Structures are given as structure tokens and as C-alpha cells.
Amino acid sequence: MNDTATPQTLDTIRFAEAATLPALFRTRCARSPDGEAYREYDASRHAWRGVTWSQVHAEVERWRSALAREGLAPGERVAVMLRNSVPWVAFDMAAQALGLVVVPLYATDNAENIAYILADCGARVLLLGDVEHWNALVPLLDKLPDLQRALCDAALPEDAAPGRLRSLRTWLQDAPPLPASPDPDPDALATIVYTSGTTGRPKGVMLSHRNILSNVDAVLQTVEVYEEDLFLSFLPLSHALERTVGYYLPMVTGSTVAFARSVVDLPEDLVAVRPTALVSVPRIYERLYAKIQQSLEAGGAPARQLFEWAESLGWRRFEAAQHRGEPPGALAELMWPVLHKLVAEKLLARLGGRLPRGPGRPQSRSVARAGRAPATGPRSGRRHPPPRSARRGAAAAAGAAGALPLVRARARRLAHAGGLDGGRAPDHAHAQAAAPAARTALRGPHPRDLRGHGTARRPLGPCVA
């Protein structure tokens, strides 16, 4: 079901062309003004709606003007607690253009953790998705003296008292146009990503523009991503993996990102959007595999036997295509078209039909076999894969989050590029991108030590895994 007739255009913006996130965004908007940048589901119309790069640029300029009215100095912190959406992108890009440091927050986190992070980083502005999140923080506001503005991307109740909380719609109105802002230094602090706090208080990992973009570059040394690729984004953008590979990387390549409605709606969104690229963590694929196993149990012994044959033969063909095993015999090759029709096509259709290369290497080998095997065909792995050490190095630099199951149509060297499970929880690896290809996750001074400085200090040295 792979659309082999789709053109494959490489339009990569290299680090030498754009060494900061604002420069990257500006360059992409200039190069692809009419290209589709993002796609969201419009619940009022019950349809997916796309926006172009020029439209996103205009929106970012509105946000930049509104943020500038808050009178923040470069290096000050602003926090965002939204679901994946165009407003998330607009807030991030506008803040980066002003030299502010973006602190992403998990919308599912508890109020105590959120308040601790806001106080620890000294956030001046907070963007919220709904009033309930703000109401949960109200009892803790005495711990947040630095927070001067909270913005709500939802209608406020009529009895809402004036103060720090404002409606996003009102806040964006009548902001005067601004002249272009100077780009920050590539080594200036761009973001602080906090760990989950499951083993203690959340800890902030400080990443510069160079950190992030060198990670993106490391991924693209391993996996070819095209302008025509369509990503489906469902991991929260507060997750370092999704933000790097599912947000900044498509900006580098000019690809389109569709924002899934929710994890619950992911099966429907996969079929509706038909992505060619998906960034995920092993748990998602394990859930999919578990559902397949449940269906096989209900289907009886014949269905299970067909699946096992397709899985086994498909895996052997995949290994052979990657020059890691002997090709199946002539009889097995004759059987494959039948097994592909009866088994593999149905599995791929549940992923939208355009993800033919399987979901990276999850923690479970059985899940990996089931994911890769159905999509493996004679065209897979036409080039010999790079040496194992090079694959591991590039993958380590690309991950920074424990697992990199980046699935994309037509990628020729995906095998093992995404195998960063390593038994690590994603939140414990935000600073682990220490491969020779990009030695990028650097340890710097504590976030609160940088308060009041116009520009963040340069991180002090490499962080070893």
C-alpha cells in the first residue's frame, strides 16, 4: 500500500544555514511559504484543516508582538502547558525569537509539580489550555512570585476576577507590529526540559539552540526525511523526543505535521491522516501488538497460524534486506504475496497504509518482529546499512529520550536507527545525547542561578550518560 509514485524531495536546512531555532523557522517560511506546515482537526467542521508556513509565520508575529508587551528580557523563562497544536508552535517560536527560554510542561502533571517547576525556573508567563489547570494552581500562587501573566486558551468564566489570568484571545488583540528581533547566540539557552519527578523533585535539563539542532542533524545523517513526508504527532511536545524529532526535524525538512486529537483517538487518526512518519515510544506499539494478539485469540488457530507464518517470513525477508541474514528460499518467496494480502495489508491499513517499514525496535523482540515483518519487501534496504557502531552512535545522538521508533515511508536505512530503548524510561534520558556525532546534551548551572541574566551562561561541559 506504499505510494511509490509520490515524489521524494530533499529540502533540508542545514545548521550552517540556520544555527538557531528562530533562524530555522524564518528560513523555512521563506523557502516554503505555500507548503503545508501543520494540520489540525477542526471539531466544529468535523474535518482536518491545514495551515501553510506563511500562515504560521503571520501567527507567530502576532504572538511575538503580544509577548513583547510583557516587557521580558532575553533569557527570562516562559512556560507552556498545552496539548500539541499550532498555538504551541506559535508560542514557542515567538518566545525563541525574543530570546526567551521556553519551559514545556506536561498538561497531565499535578499542580504541585507544576508549581515547583514554575518556581524553580522563575517563569514569568504561563500559557494554559483550560481554566481547570489555573484553578488547580490558584492555592499555590503565593509560591510563584515571579509569575506575572497566565494566559488561557479557552473562554474564561464571566465571574473571573481580573489579575494575572487573561484570555489568550484578548491578550493577542491589537498588538502593534514589531521590527525583526536579532537572533540569539547558537549557544544561548533555548529551553529547560524538566524530568518527570518520579524519583524525586523534577530536575531541569538545559539545552541550547546548538544542542537541539545538532540532535536533529544527527537524525538526518541516519534517516532520510522528505518534504512530502507527513508526521502524525501524538506524544506531548513537552517530551524531548517528540519536540526534537516530531516538531523541529520536520521544520528542517519542510515536512508536514498533523497533530493527533488524543492517544485515545490515535487509531482513528492513523487511518484518517495516513502518515508516512510516526514518532513514538515502545509502549504504544506494545498496546497495538496486544490488540493484535487479542484479535488472533478470537480468530482461532487458523488466524494465529497465518499471522505467525507472515511474521516469521516477513522477519527473515527484512533481515536479508538489511544484509544480516540469508534470504528465504524460492518456495517462501512464492508464499509471501499470499501472506502479505491476507495478513500484512490488514495490519498496515490499521496504521494508515503508508507506514511500510515497521515501528523501530521496541523493548520486546516479538513486537519488533510483528512491526517490521509485514512491511518488508524486495525494495527494503537497497543500500547496505552503515556499520553497527555508526548506527548506534547516530541513534544515540538522535534520541535524547530513551527510544526512537521513527517510522517513515520509503526510508532506506531505518533499521536500528530508532532502537534506543535500552531499558530506560524516556524522562530519564533528556540529557543523554552524548554520541560522537553530536555531543550535545551539556550540563550547565542550575536554572535559578541564571535568573536576572540577560543571556544564559554557556553550559559548562559534556554530560555523560
In this predicted model, what pLDDT tens digit does every residue of 372-385 receive, in sequence order? 555 544 333 333 34
User: For residue 210, is pLDDT > 80?
Assistant: yes
User: Bigger pLDDT: 256 or 331?
Assistant: 256
The pLDDT value recorded for residue 367 is: 58
Assess whether pLDDT exceeds 60 at residue 404. Answer: no
| pLDDT computed for residue 407 by the predictor | 32
Least reliable range by pLDDT among 167-171, 259-263, 268-272, 282-286: 282-286
Q: Residue 366: pLDDT band by 50, 70, 90 thresholds?
A: low
Question: What are the structural domains of the chain?
Answer: 9-279+383-455 (3.40.50.12780), 281-382 (no CATH)
* pLDDT average, residue stretch 413-424: 29
The CA distance from 430 to 328, in Å, is 41
User: What is the average pLDDT value for the chain, to the nearest integer?
Assistant: 78
pLDDT at residue 372, as a whole number: 55
User: What secondary structure letter does DSSP report for 114?
Assistant: H
**Helix or strand holding residue 259 (H, E):** strand 256-259
Given this model, what pLDDT does residue 332 score? 83
On whether the CB atoms of residues 229 and 253 are closer than 8 A, the answer is: yes
End-to-end CA distance of the chain: 40
For cell 553550559, what's the residue?
Answer: 459
pLDDT digits (tens, 9 = 90+) for 428-450: 333 333 333 333 322 233 444 44
pLDDT of 12 over the 90 cut: yes
Per-residue model confidence (pLDDT) at position 363: 45
With contact defined as beta carbons under 8 Å apart, do 122 and 76 qualify? yes
Nearest to 445 by CA among 189, 150, 176: 189
pTM of the complete model: 0.76
Q: What is the per-residue pLDDT across 314-355, written as a single tens digit (0 to 9) for each?
A: 888 888 888 888 888 888 888 888 888 888 888 888 888 887
Query: How large is the average pLDDT for residues 21-33?
Result: 97
189-219 in b/e form (b: 16+ CB < 10 A) is bbbbbbbebeeeebbbbbbbbbbbbbbbbbb
- Predicted confidence band of residue 137 (pLDDT cuts 50, 70, 90): very high
pLDDT for res 386? 38
- What confidence score (pLDDT) does residue 374 get? 56
